Chain A
Amino acid sequence: MTPFDALYAAPAALTAHAPVIVIAAPLVGACAAALSPGARSSWVISVLTTAFSLWMAIALAGEVAREGVIDYALGGFPSPMGIALKVDAIAVTMALLISAMGLMGAIYSGHALLSEVRAEKHTLFQAGYLLCVSGYLGLVLTGDAFNAFVFLEISSIGTYALVAAGERRDRRALPAAFNYLIMGTVGATLYVIGVGFLYGATGTLNMADMGVRLVTLGDNPAVQAGFAFIVAGLGAKAAMFPLHGWLPGAYAGAPTLVSVFLAATATKAAIYLLMRFTFDVFPLDADFGRLFLHGILAPLAAAAAIVCSVQAIFAREVRRMLAFSSIAQVGFILLGFSLATQAGVSAGVFYMVAHALMKAAAFMALGAFAISLKARLLSDFAGIGREAPWSTVAFAVAAASLAGVPLTMGFLGKWSLIEAALQARQAWMVVVFAIGSLLTLVYVGRIVETMFFRAPTPGAPRAKEAPVGVLAPLWVLAGLSVWFGVDATLPASLADAGAAALLGAAP
């Protein structure tokens, strides 16, 4: 079904353990990076382990395409006694996305970190970054509700410190990191309390087992409270609309490497887990599930798509603009999921991948400018298109994808979202998509216009073109945004398989 069908990317002995190697490789790499003697060696370790992890994720994708769902029993104890990793089409799609972004970020960090983080901190910083990658990979691959909490915390605790490290550029990163920590921890604790309610009602922590046992329970206030807690907790992590306050400051303040990786993966991993609970664990046909999807999730997502796009238009700093845009785009993705149809979920997954590529590229380009230019406000970027054409054009490509210009992945994503909404007869959603896209066009247009068509401020520092180590991953991401906009077979097939896996498991 997917292009991975005939892919035997790794020896069978490795492939058999691929689910755990994907997670463990960056984890062991983090320890090695913390032990390594210098900045350079820690960077090499970072690149090698994320590359290894990506390789294993590709091998895993081939295996999943052939076998369907892979259950990996850690410690040799079958679930529900032991912890199982559950790898299906959607999990492997997320793992591919995260490990690929991890590799891109790792390559990019070689140059980008130099200007933003003290040299003697690099080894620990790379270690924290790898822990983060490992945490998100574990989060999407695990099939155990409590284990997911542990990985959520691994990724978060690493991230808080990494975001705070941005204070060298802008001290506002510190209170932003603190707010992120408070919201993240409250969210994670709400999640764990929710899991406790479900555990009290079902007696198991394995998500699949939980789903089976919940069907027989019927209406129970404890189960509903558990679900509400999980939604609130993961909603805070995913920056769902009223709980998104932490995100703009954190993304705007963090070192570029961290912004790139967070924008591409952090909220998506939380959304993925939320969807896993919504579709896999909770009986979808219950009134409660429907009420949640249509009565709560969809309106909130729509509000995010509109309100935060407007906030992005009025933001003065470009990073903050992109951060607000991220919340709005998360709204788009959630709208797709809230349809709960094959087309809707598939479009949501597709747009998730598209958004990861374009937002990562956009933040990378901003970081590339920042290497030579301490630019923050929109006006600082005036005329930069002539001074650093390669990075600016890459930014423009990403921005075009964000705005939904045809021949980009963003366009296809938005188009399939609209199609899915029409299919489900949700006309109001089409209106939301249209307004949201228009608003996106406005702020993206402002940035691109400033970069290319404004004359540089006289006396302002001149930008220089970024080094190849920065341009390479940037252009890979921007190129993929275009390539998949022309030929979307790969992401579309992954998204379709992923949606089928998510919905097929629903009773």
Chain B
Amino acid sequence: MLLAAGTAGLLVAMVLMIARAVMGPSQYDRILAANSFGTKTVLLLAVIGYLFGRPHFLDVALVYALINFVVTIALMKFFRYRSLAQPLTASAGERAPHD
């Protein structure tokens, strides 16, 4: 019962995020909404797994957490560099010593 309440709370939060993603106004708001939506979906999947007694499907939640990270970086490069091929430098103006 508690898990169901948790699921409901997450669903409402997801709807609010969709609203922010549609409204914008800046592109960064949209990325933020998409990224945060991803985190909420990870939680939703985990909770659903327990709600239906199928915790072994946490794999899907795990893979989301991963993908979310990669897509966020891709989006950031999209804005900052307008290219997916640029490397991200380690520090301002110079390369890190270990590179």
A–B direct touch in complex (beta carbons closer than 8 A)? no
Residue numbers of B with Cβ under 8 A of A are: none
Residue numbers of A with Cβ under 8 A of B are: none
